[in-house]
A and B are shown apart, each in its own frame.
Chain A
Amino acid sequence: MAEGEESENEVLKEALERGEIRFFTAGRGSASGKSGREDTARFAENLMTLQECAILLGEQLGMHAVASATLYEKSETVGFCFDQNSNPQDPHVAGGMVNRRMSFREFNRSIRDFIDR
């Protein structure tokens, strides 16, 4: 295992042990994060699904632009927020996954803080 991958898995292991959010960013069809390739791929898959669902629903309900979407599945919270500072023509998102059910407010606030950092 490469040194980079090993340290990425350390990030994942530590986040899982502490119940901390693993943050990711995405834009132009690719996602990046610090918790390893597999974890980032899982996030990317969730992001695509949630984005698609949010866009479909928003269009039908006339709700305008998507701000964020989050889901609870088993004991996991997964979601994303659009980076409102990014170019609307080339939007960027930040998101996260955590191995516990966090309140939606707290989860979204953490992602917004991550965006502002």
Chain B
Amino acid sequence: MTPESLIATLGSMRHAGSVFGVLFSNGTEEIFSDLAYSPERVEVMVSVLDDIIAYFDQEGRNPDILSFCYDGGNLLLVLLKGHRLVVLHHHADEVDFIAKAAGSFLKDYFTGEAVRSWDASKEADDLHQHQRGGDMPQNTGMSDHPADPSAPISPAR
């Protein structure tokens, strides 16, 4: 998932239904934030979420979706692979739709991440192969132009 598509997807979630805030982060690293709160309040909310997640970790528990409903609004928290997606919304009835959309987003996000890391490791492999190819003459002594002139050269048969 490119940064542009991430912003587009979470941006459209932010404006869907009665949603009034979206926060996506990897641990403490904020990836996307569009919340109708002051930065100070967001900071406090994040610190409470940190405490909640730490508590479950400490208890050896692993909930992946938590939904909190209040008279003044609702909060959905989705946790996956160290990432968290928080969605604030007004209508409690929308919670299942939001949970489904959040789950789909995370699935796409991690698919994108997996493909990206696959590409990166493939590139690293290719580079390594290329370098090994370059080293081969030195290693085998079969090059016409050995990098190390003192390296032994196998006699031709």
Please give, as numbers and ranges, the residues of chain A lying within 8 Å of B56 by CB-CB distance: 49
Instruction: Check A56–B48 contact: CB distance below 8 A.
Output: yes
Instruction: Check B66–A70 contact: CB distance below 8 A.
Output: yes
Assuming the A-B contacts A73-B61, A73-B62, are A60 and B67 also in contact, with contact meaning beta carbons closer than 8 angstroms in the complex?
A: no
**Binding-face segment, A14-22, A28-36, A61-69:** A61-69
Interface size on B, residues (CB 8 A): 31
What is the predominant secondary structure among interface residues of chain A facing chain B?
Answer: mixed
Q: Tell whether A41 is near chain B: CB-to-CB under 8 Å.
A: no
**CB within 8 Å of B: which of A10-59?**
49-50, 53-54, 56-58
What is the CB-to-nearest-CB distance from B94 to chain A, in angstroms, rounded to a whole number?
9
Q: Tell whether A105 is near chain B: CB-to-CB under 8 Å.
A: yes
Q: Tell whether A74 is near chain B: CB-to-CB under 8 Å.
A: yes
Instruction: Check A71–B66 contact: CB distance below 8 A.
Output: yes
**CB within 8 Å of A: which of B66-95?**
66-73, 75, 88, 92-93, 95
Q: Which residues of B contact A (CB under 8 A)?
A: 37, 41, 44-45, 48-49, 51-52, 55-56, 59, 61-73, 75, 88, 92-93, 95-96, 99
